[in-house]
Amino acid sequence: MKLLIVRHGDPDYTIDSLTEKGWREAEFLSERLTKLEIRDFYVSPLGRAKDTASPTLKKMNRTATECDWLREFDVLIDRPDVTDKKIIPWDWLPQDWTRDERFYQYDHWFENERMLASDLKGHYDYVTGKLDELLAKHGYVRDGHCYKVVESNEDTLVFFCHFGLECVLLSHLLNISPMVLWHGVCAAPSSVTTLNTEERREGIAAFRMSAFGDISHLYVHDEAPAFAARFCETYGNTEERHD
């Protein structure tokens, strides 16, 4: 089975939709996805994800199942250096989060005191539990860190969602701490991440990522990737965001 995790196009967060550039990205993405044989589509309830999916669904005369658990993983925490508000958990300064070795460990990242205060693990378990429920309906049942194959298949499932949420899904499927993914990778708007099952012994499958954040559908149209989700490459660059 193949999973395609799609981040929404360049966002206009003020209206929970897409920028003009984001709509172009969604159109170019649709040219790519409509060439595939896709079993099922799943989409976040948020506007920017649904708008990204809309050109593909319209061209294929298909609908997507709306899943509340695919909404952005917007649980808020107290960041060490921010005292006047709570923020999303994937926006810590490197000099702060890297000091806690537990953040690098799949089985201990949630033991950090700030994570415990916001019940990050509870929210994480809810999302990943819903993912496993869906995968079980498609024939793959979670068994430890692998999946028991009840009904092997070569179906393709597409998920239109968000960067923070995507990292939660990848964390669970690949058994990696989400903190490492949240802070160590960046999926550009409209990018496609691909995972495939590998069943090297009958009845036992694992997911393997063959592509992360692929934006080849933009490059073929000479469309530059959006900067959303990234920070300044050099401190002196005043045109790129620092916070």
Question: pLDDT, tens digit, for every residue of 103-117?
Answer: 999 999 999 999 999
The rounded distance, in Å, linking the Cα atoms of 184 and 174 is 15
pLDDT of residue 243: 80
Query: 11 pLDDT exceeds 80?
Result: yes
Q: What is the mean pLDDT of residues 38-57?
A: 98
Task: Using pLDDT thresholds of 50, 70 and 90, give the confidence band for residue 62.
Answer: very high
Average pLDDT of every residue of the chain: 96
pLDDT of residue 239: 83
Which position has the higher pLDDT, 231 or 4? 4
Task: Using pLDDT thresholds of 50, 70 and 90, give the confidence band for residue 238.
Answer: confident
Which residue type sits at 58?
Answer: K
The rounded distance, in Å, linking the Cα atoms of 46 and 161 is 8
pLDDT of residue 228: 83
Query: 237 pLDDT exceeds 80?
Result: yes
The rounded distance, in Å, linking the Cα atoms of 193 and 157 is 12
Task: Using pLDDT thresholds of 50, 70 and 90, give the confidence band for residue 78.
Answer: very high
* Region of poorest pLDDT, from 24-28, 43-47, 80-84: 80-84
DSSP output for 139-206: TEEEETTEEEESS----EEEEEE-HHHHHHHHHHHHT--HHHHHHH----TT-EEEEEEEEEETTEEE
Query: 26 pLDDT exceeds 80?
Result: yes
- pLDDT tens-digit readout, 133-163: 999 999 999 999 999 999 999 999 999 999 9
* Region of poorest pLDDT, from 56-65, 217-226, 234-243: 234-243
Task: Retrieve residue 72's tokens.
Answer: 């952005």
CA-to-CA dists, residue 84 to 30, 60, 79, 113, 135, angstroms? 42, 47, 10, 18, 40
For the chain, what percent of residues have pLDDT higher than 90?
Answer: 91
For the chain, what percent of residues have pLDDT higher than 70?
Answer: 100
Query: 166 pLDDT exceeds 80?
Result: yes
Whole-prediction pTM: 0.96
Are β-strands 146-149 and 156-161 bridged in parallel, bridged antiparallel, or unpaired? unpaired
Q: What is the mean pLDDT of residues 30-41?
A: 98
pLDDT of residue 241: 82
Task: Using pLDDT thresholds of 50, 70 and 90, give the confidence band for residue 184.
Answer: very high
